Structures are given as C-alpha cells and as structure tokens.
Structure 1
Amino acid sequence: MTAPHNTTLNTAPVHWADIGVNLTDKQFQDDRDQVLARARSAGVTWQLLTGTNVEESRQAIALASQHNDLFATAGLHPHSARFYSPALEKELRELLGQQRVKAAGEMGLDFNRDFSPRSDQEHAFEAQLALAVEHKLPVFLHERDAHERFAPILKAYRDHLVGAVVHCFTGSREALFDYLDLDCHIGITGWICDERRGKPLAELVHNIPDNRLLLETDAPYLLPRDLPEPPPKKRRNEPSFLPWIGKRVASLRGQDVARVAGMTSENARAMFR
C-alpha cells in the first residue's frame, strides 16, 4: 500500500489524542505498525481503541498491552445487541477489569439501521451502563437517530457514572444541548470536514465547552472529505489524519490549533484516566 500523503500540521510541536480508533479492523492488518508510526510522527501520542464486541475488545486490549500510548474500550455495539446474554455479560465484566481498558462501550442505540431489535438494544444498553457503574468506568456511547430514547436511559444512570462521551456526534442542536446538560463529553470526527453532510455539525461545534470537547478519527471510517490531496488508497482513514480534523475544528471555533490540540488531549487523559 502506498503511504498516505502528509496532511498534518508541522508548524508546532503539538500533541493529539484520538479517542476513537478501530485499529483492530482488518483494513489495518497488513500495515498496522506503519499506521502507528505515522500517527506518532503526526503528533498523535494517545489513542483509545474501540471494542465493539467481545472478540474485538479482546483484540483491542491485546494490542494496547503492547504499546504505552494505546488503551482500549470493551463493550457491545448496538448493532449486535441481540447477542447480549448472561454469558456475554460475564465475559464483558472480566474484560472491563483489565488494566488497559479505560471505558465501557461502544454501547448505545442505533435506530437508523436497526440491525438488532430496538428492545434488545435498550436492554443491552442499560445492562452495560450498569456494568460501567460497577467498574467505575466512563462510557463510550453510540447514538444514531435514537435521541428520544437514548437520553432518558442515559439520564437514569448518569449520576452514578464517572464520565460519558457521545462518540462521533452528528446530531441536532437539541441533542447536543441535552448531552451537555447531562455533563457528557462530545466526540467530533472527520464528519465535520464534509462540506455537505457535516454542515449542521460545523454550525454547532462552537457551542461545545472547551472542557467537553474530544477529537477522534473513527478510523478506518469517516475519512475527511476535504483532504487537500488525492485520498489514500481505498479511502481508508487513519489516526495520522487527526490533526487535519483538529485544524478544521479550531477554525470553526475561532481558536488556535495548538490550543485545540492541548485542551482535547488534556480532556482525553482526564476523562479516561
């Protein structure tokens, strides 16, 4: 594979934290070490690897255990909620106790695709929120077209959770302020770099308080559409592009790039301890 072009910012020695990376995805199986090297060269010095089921969570933990700058989540994505069971919960409970695990999830509700029945999604979501409370871990949340059900479920547990981030936020103004009222962090991805689909988010991002803003690539997905050169092969996103997302966010918020890098990195380290 041809190495991706350099779209990062090299004008200052800033450090970035990517709080959502699917680094165990098969798209990285042939060059994972090179991907990590490019990320570090771009200033991405902290990454949280996303676990979306038991097996992927195990893989994320194993990979994170090999690198000082990698950490992991453990959870069951709402797409797979129909598989939640007492046996699976037992496995998740064990994984959440691992040292490299810094958040419970990815968990939540997805009423856009409905790959699992909505009743199963709600059951798995509540069960995993309870596990997060038990393990004193923040939660890594997924919500798509489900705000009206998602918010009250989260609210019922929020006072007992040590933290919460709404990952890959692309919702409405109402949803954003509801999540901020619930003291949630907000994860912003390359979606904001899409001049069409990302326009509503671009108009909202300035409303996120400095201490609630987090950045993520969701790599290998959500490649920023506005990269200044031809996109990488197969349009694969990777964590080395996080500074490009950060540049866009800084511009929309009227803030210095180094400030956005610093505060989002500090937020990530504080949130995920």
Structure 2
Amino acid sequence: MPRFAANLSMLYPEHAFPDRFAAAAADGFTAVEYLFPYDYEPGELRARLEDNGLRQVLFNAPPGDWAAGERGIAGVPGREDEFKEAFTAALSYADALSCPRVHVMSGVGAPEDRPRRLDTYRNNLAWAAAQAGDLEVLVEPLNHRDMPGYLLTRQAEAHALVSEIGAANLGVQLDLYHLQVSEGDVTTTLRRDLPTGRVRHLQVAGVPDRHEPDRGELDLRRVLAVVDELGYDGWIGCEYHPAGETSAGLRWIAECGGVQ
C-alpha cells in the first residue's frame, strides 16, 4: 500500500513553513520532504519533526543561487569545490535530521555543453556517493517545460548514469509528473525501472497543472496499483501545488487506497 510524504515546500502554503510540520501531522502524515532546509538551524527542524511525530525522508543538496535561477551546481564545470562544500553541508543536515536520502541537482546549461556538464555531474556524484556512507544520493530527471536546460530529462539517462557510476548508495528519484510531461508511457516505465532497485523515491502531482495527483490526465488509481503490484515499499512524495486549501484536497489519498 502506497505511503505518502508531505512535501512542505509546496503543501500548506496557507501556513508559514515552520508551522507546516504540525499541519501535516494533523492531516495524518508521518513523513515529510521539502526542497531545502538551509534557512533553518538543524536543531529547530529536528524539534519540529519530533514534536509532531514526523520523519524526514528527503531534501535537496544546496542548489547554488536559487533566486538567481540556478538549479544545482553538481553538473556545472568549474564549480567542483563549491559543490563539495555544499554537499558536505547537506551531509551535516542529513545526519542531524536522520534523513536517509539527499537529491543532488545537476544544474542548467546550454545543450552544446552537455558532454562536459555530464562528465562533471558524473564525477561529482561518484565523489558524493563515496562520502555519504549509508545515505542515499539521488538524481532526478526534470522536464524541460518547467526547467529549461536541465541536464537530465529522461529516465533512461538517469539510470544509465547511476549504473555507470555503480555506487550502491546512488539511486534515481522518479517523479511521475516529470515523467508524464517528458515521456509519457508511465506504467510501462514503472514496470521497466522499479524492478531494477535503482528507484529509491517516488513523487506525484497532477498533469499538466501540478495540482492534486487525481486531477489531470494521469489515471492515478491505475498508476498506484502498478506501483503496489511491483512491490515498491518506499515513500511517495506529494510534490504538488494545492488547487485550494491543502487539507481539503487530500481526499485523493484515501480514495486511492494509500496511507500517510
């Protein structure tokens, strides 16, 4: 049965970020994810988790200057030292929050620079995986409509990269929203990729508007039934923008037979 984690960067926008932990717990969530923890002290976030009976299941490594449009630096040539410093900070937060996985974003750039960017990303991921111990380091293909110029856009690219590096703690973060926008053929891809064991985290949102997952062109019930059939027992992050008030929009979880 699917297990859902609340993405606090997107859900509960009616609350200030520190108050979203309590709001998620009140709706029955037992796990959370979000983009970045770095604006808050680890002790404050840990207290929010513990006070509300929540576990942290995912966050991203520092992405560079997000406000300026940077979307990761791990695949940006010439910034290797900066990436290592940033990933070391992510490891510190992961340890403080008992978080088992961190997503490392590649960054955006020109298509003609792709070979060099990919080499940089590969080398940085191999280094990060070697530093991470039992922590899982994840890569995620993102669609070019929402994130033009992102290095990874297709599932096969991510799986090839992870396989080439060959680190046991390196895996793929599969967002069904990005998959549908970029490639479609969702259930076929799930049947191909989930059995590999390389997919360590799933995320869902409605397509094309990124609202509740039961809104839009995906047959969510069927997709989640396939996920269940394939024996995936990890977390599924609810990474979407609520169309209205967050709690009222969560009916889809019970209707799809999931738990929080």
With the shorter chain as reference, the TM-score category is: 0.5 to 0.7
| Shift, 1:18, TM fit | 1.0
Structure-2 change in CA distance of 1:21 and 1:37 (3 Å): closer
- Please say if residues 172 and 200 of structure 2, whose CA atoms lie closer than 8 Å, have aligned partners that are also in contact: yes
Identity of aligned residues (%): 7
Which residue is 2:226 aligned to?
207
| Shift, 1:70, TM fit | 4.8
* 1:154-174 deviation per Cα after TM superposition (whole angstroms, max 9, x unaligned): 12245521x745242232344
Structure-2 change in CA distance of 1:32 and 1:204 (3 Å): closer
Where do 5+ consecutive residues of structure 2 fail to align? 64-69, 143-152, 180-184, 207-212
Once the two structures are superposed, the pairs formed by residues 112-127 of structure 1 within 5 Å of their partners are: 118=114, 119-120=116-117, 123-124=120-121, 126-127=123-124
- Please say if residues 102 and 135 of structure 2, whose CA atoms lie closer than 8 Å, have aligned partners that are also in contact: no
With structure 1 as the length reference, what TM-score do the two structures score? Answer: 0.60
**Runs of at least 4 residues of structure 1 off by over 6 A?**
none
Which residue is 1:217 aligned to?
238
Which residue is 2:210 aligned to?
none
| 1:141 alignment partner AA | V
| 2:85 alignment partner AA | K
Which residue is 1:96 aligned to?
91
- Please say if residues 142 and 166 of structure 1, whose CA atoms lie closer than 8 Å, have aligned partners that are also in contact: yes
Q: Secondary structure at the match of 1:211?
A: coil
Once the two structures are superposed, the pairs formed by residues 8-87 of structure 1 within 5 Å of their partners are: 17-18=4-5, 20-22=7-9, 31-51=16-36, 56-57=37-38, 59=40, 61=42, 63-67=44-48, 68=50, 69-71=54-56, 73-76=59-62, 79-81=71-73, 82=76, 84-87=79-82
Which residue is 1:12 aligned to?
none
Which residue is 2:157 aligned to?
149
Structure-2 change in CA distance of 1:103 and 1:131 (3 Å): farther
Structure-2 change in CA distance of 1:217 and 1:94 (3 Å): same
Which sits farther off after the overlay, 150-159 or 77-86? 77-86
Q: Secondary structure at the match of 1:193?
A: coil
With structure 2 as the length reference, what TM-score do the two structures score? Answer: 0.62
Structure 2 residue 203 is the aligned partner of structure 1 residue 188: yes
Structure-2 change in CA distance of 1:195 and 1:42 (3 Å): same
Where do 5+ consecutive residues of structure 1 fail to align? 1-15, 226-230, 233-237, 251-256, 266-273
Number of aligned residue pairs: 214
Question: Which structure dedicates a bigger proportion of its chain to helix?
Answer: 1
| Shift, 1:241, TM fit | 6.7
